[in-house]
Structure 1
Amino acid sequence: MVLAMRHGAHLIWVGLLLCCMVDMGATMEFTGAEGQWARFPMWNACCESEMSFNMKTKSSHGLLVYFDDEGFCDFLELLIHNGKLSLRFSIFCAEPATVLTNTAVNDSQWHAVTIWRNFKNTTLMVDNEVKWVEVKSKRRDMTVFSHLFLGGIPPELRSVALRLTSAVVKDHVPFTGWITDIKVNNTESALLNSAGVINDLCGAAANMCLNGGVCNVINDEPTCDCSQTDYQGKDCSEGKISGFSFGPLSVLLTISNSSPLTKQQHDMIIYRFPSFQAVLVVQQFTENADILFL
């Protein structure tokens, strides 16, 4: 009887511990938007090392993990291909080695994923399934220079082909789903910055970005990206110049504001330019907009 009570208490303690472990990791939601990416510190996967995370998705395709030696020979990419995980890597410009798992991960359930690097060998673990592959390379250790990217790669890497060791990584669609508990060698890896990714910091500040601004995390701080809107400022609430129309005799400036001006408010426009001819300035007032002609 005493043994049964002790055993039951042990099970309760383990259950509480597992709950706490789930809450410890920050969960990131990947929307699958074009240009999406999350950047983590470099994973030195040269010799004996491992990386792990938990994921959930209903998508059959998407880029999960990528890192390389910035355009030389070595790289590793982890994809969802037809609902299953596919890992491909190369060392010293050898023919890339590929391993494909049998476990379907596009079932909207959480799956534990671990990548274990051991010189020429790489092991991929998904839940209870374990598969490994060896690359036929003349060199044993992998060289890594880039950051660790999850869910996609930044636009600056897409625009410079020589920066990517695996050129085809640009063709992979971004990952759509959730990733949590990202660890390297059993230590939580800190998110450096991201784009198009919703995580706990942005979730806590869900209403901080106005007028269609997108919340991104930069240096562990939620920041509004207003580049795809007609607004600017910390929370995308300030009007900005949204367009120019150039003609032979005129320039049209369109200025937007987040809220209509009242009688007690005013906006000021300051400009200067050299000219050898007379300048005609006409300001047209309408109910919803002011137009300044030069």
Structure 2
Amino acid sequence: MCLFDLQVDFFAIEMLDGHLYLLLDMGSGTTKTKAIDRKVNDGEWYHVDFQRDGRSGTISVNSVRTAYTAPGDSEILDLDETLYLGGLPEERAGLIFPTEVWTALLNYGYVGCIRDLFVDGQSKDIRRLAEAQRAVGVKPSCSREPPKQCLSNPCQHNGVCREGWNRYVCDCSGTGYLGRSCERDATILSYDGSKFMKVQLPLAMHTEAEDVSLRFRSQRAYGVLMATTSRNSADTLRLELDGGRVRLTVNLGTHTHTHTQLCGFSNVV
């Protein structure tokens, strides 16, 4: 769930790795609060209550309260009129969404059920809203035990199957195949060491989380696999072969972090 405007202010409730987080920004920086220590991805119903009085407030999960305080001096949360439930829109032209909401950056849409939404004491008829918007992937029902879609092994070529709510999701990374069931051959390029190509990103990116994967094969011990640049900052990300080992270098402008695989890969065939 996320509510924000075109400037800075926003609040969001997201589930990441089974944990529930509250994120709040009133114009002076984001506070991120873990709502409860235990994981909540067990298929049970949980009641979440978010309350705010000025810069302070609480978020409670099944009556277990956790306090938070937003940084800065402002006590006004200036928001747009739209509350997004279950994720954020794919088309975000003109919409500045908060980079602190990692599930949005990584396109992790919510899988599960939601009911009994109240905003400032007013009940919201989310079923009617979903039907009026003809929201794809949203159904006006909730089964107690969703069918185990992965039992039929729908993911081909060793793709990893993850259970969705009434659907399966294939992770095709590392297989060399694409498609809903990893059924299509992925595009392959060969390089002779003298050229490169550019992948144009849709917009300038200001992010806190990324998920990037690729497959390669080489018998050379050195070479750049992937690198990013920026005209406006020193931030870079560089993936390369160095002495037959994979090295990742991340520069966030103030610190550079380098990670090198212990095993060599230049003999991959």
Q: TM-score range by the shorter chain?
A: 0.3 to 0.5
Q: Which has the higher contact order (CA 8 A, sep 6+)?
A: 1
- TM-score if structure 2 supplies the norm length? 0.46
Please tell me whether Structure 1 or Structure 2 has the larger radius of gyration of its CA atoms: 1
- TM-score if structure 1 supplies the norm length? 0.42
Please identify which structure carries the higher helix content. 1
Please identify which structure carries the higher strand content. 1
